[in-house]
A and B are shown apart, each in its own frame.
Chain A
Amino acid sequence: MIETNKNYIRQNIAIKRLDGRTYKDFRKLSVETNLIEKAEGSALVTLGETKVLVGVKMDLGTPFPDSGDVGILMTNAERSPIASPEFESGPPNDDTIELARVVDRGIRESGCIDFHKLCIKEGEKVWMVFVDISILNNDGNLFDAAAAGAISALLTAKIPKLNDNGTVNRSEYDGALVVTDLPIMVTTALINGVMVVDPTADEEEVIEGRVHVTSIEAGICAMQKSGSCEFTEEQIMTAIDNSIAMGKELRKQLKKK
């Protein structure tokens, strides 16, 4: 982006953003589910122009040695070059790893999935839940879109049936994956001293740092400060307040589905 545009965003951020929103407005988020029949669960999230597709696959695996009685959640993200000229193919870089891990943390720490229920035989066999996040179009705030996609896909996920010989039968299902809460991530970015909700790709070119806050009904379940800047405690609290307020609205919206 040219320097004058960057300066324009910085100078006007407190009054008006390029797309007409105020610093407190979240773009319209919509979710389409179950569009990948071959996946156990799937969701396509559209947040403004950002599009993120999330698929859930389930497979059998051996549990970790220190937790033999719980299933395994694996969250992975990919920034395919399809979504932006800035994305390159190849192994995930640190931004992509951070995206996957922060989404993972929100789901895991919310306690919305009882992983004990995904144990088939203690110490030997458990269900592994793979959440794969694929970015289709990047217009900023991939974190919130990916998190909404992950929980929406999990909400639609079904558990494949086990054959008598212990193999997976993907043509029949053994009920739904039980999801008891709705963790919602809301990102607030710092631009020129203003805490701005849901940054676009243009705005992400000038942000100094971000605070990702994931909330559930009972409180906050995951946070991450990202970017090389400093935040005051007050700014962090603003990000928390944004997440609580927006989380309430989005939970209502996603529950209706």
Chain B
Amino acid sequence: MSGAKRPKEYEKLIVKGKRCDGRKIDELRPLTIKVGVIKRANGSAYVELGKTKVYAAVYGPKELHPRRLVEDDKAVLSVKYSMLAFSVNDRARPGPNRRSTEISKVVKHALEPVIFLEEFPQLNIELIVDIIQADAGTRTAAVIAGSVALANAGIPMKGLVSACAAGKVDGEILLDLNAPEDNFGDSDLPIAMTSTDKKITLMQLDGVMTKAEIQKAIILIRKGNDYIISKQIEALKGVYQ
């Protein structure tokens, strides 16, 4: 993260309080959420956060294979996050890798706390997230889309989950890093929160921050997540009205 050589255009990432894409320090990228975009799936969503574009689909509850993974007292949520080959500058090799395995795991852990998995013992709820274009913030976009797709599939949940990141760039704490800020900044802190009691279900940190800076970042993230939740609810309501 730190130490990467900056090209001329990104030598200064904040000029007079404005970021390289014109945003203020506490402003999210433009967010679009669409629901029910994949008709074969039980539930689906499309999320666009700036140039990051993500599809999520939910299949199930259905039978779980292989059978040895079955849990007797609850459903198993399986999450498959993947980046499509053409979603990044240098072609990404298709198929799972260590990064996608870890992200699938943290996204699963981000969503499980709000799902009433005990309603479907021995069954499987499958969430597939395809990143069709990656431009920073793909795991948070995956959480936003995944939570909406689960709701669209009618999976009983105690609330939604929203997610966004903040990070330290050129000495400032910024909300929702774009690709240059992510690549040339000092740190990145993605956090997912539940809509009901704003508890933290995903958190990772890459790069150095003090405790006070982390607390400052969480204040920005809370604000960002409040807005994201309102957009998630609006998108879901749009389908049923």
Contacts and interface: CB of A to CB of B under 8 A. Distances in A.
Q: Do A and B come from one complex?
A: yes
Interface of A: 65-67, 69-70, 94, 97-98, 100-101, 105, 108-111, 115-116, 209, 211, 216, 218-233, 236-237, 240-241, 244
B194 to A, nearest CB: 6
Max count, chain A CB within 10 A of own CB: residue among B194, B199, B200: B200
Contacts of A70: 3
Contacts of A240: 211, 214
A230 B200 contact: yes
B37 interface: no
B211 A237 contact: yes
Given A219-B213, A228-B112, A105 B206 contact: yes
Interface residues of B, number: 38
A220 B108 contact: no
B209 A230 contact: no
Q: Is the interface of A mostly helix, strand, loop or mixed?
A: mixed
Given A65-B90, A228-B108, A220 B209 contact: yes
Nearest to B204: A224
B87 to A, nearest CB: 15
B218 A225 contact: no
Interface stretch (B98-106, B174-182, B226-234): B98-106
13 contacts: A70-B3, A98-B105, A108-B1, A109-B207, A110-B208, A115-B3, A209-B109, A211-B203, A220-B205, A220-B210, A221-B208, A223-B189, A225-B106
A131 B8 CA distance: 35
Nearest to A216: B208
B3 A111 contact: yes
A229 B113 contact: yes
B206 A225 contact: no
B211 A244 contact: yes
Contacts of B199: 230-232
A223 B214 CA distance: 11
Nearest to A100: B98
Interface in B8-62: none
Nearest to B201: A230
B169 interface: no
Contacts of A66: 90
Q: Lowest 5 CB-CB distances: which A-B pairs, in order?
A: A230-B199, A228-B112, A223-B205, A225-B203, A219-B210
Nearest to A183: B208
Given A224-B205, A229-B201, A244-B211, 11 more contacts: A94-B101, A97-B101, A98-B105, A109-B2, A216-B208, A220-B205, A220-B209, A225-B203, A228-B112, A231-B200, A232-B199
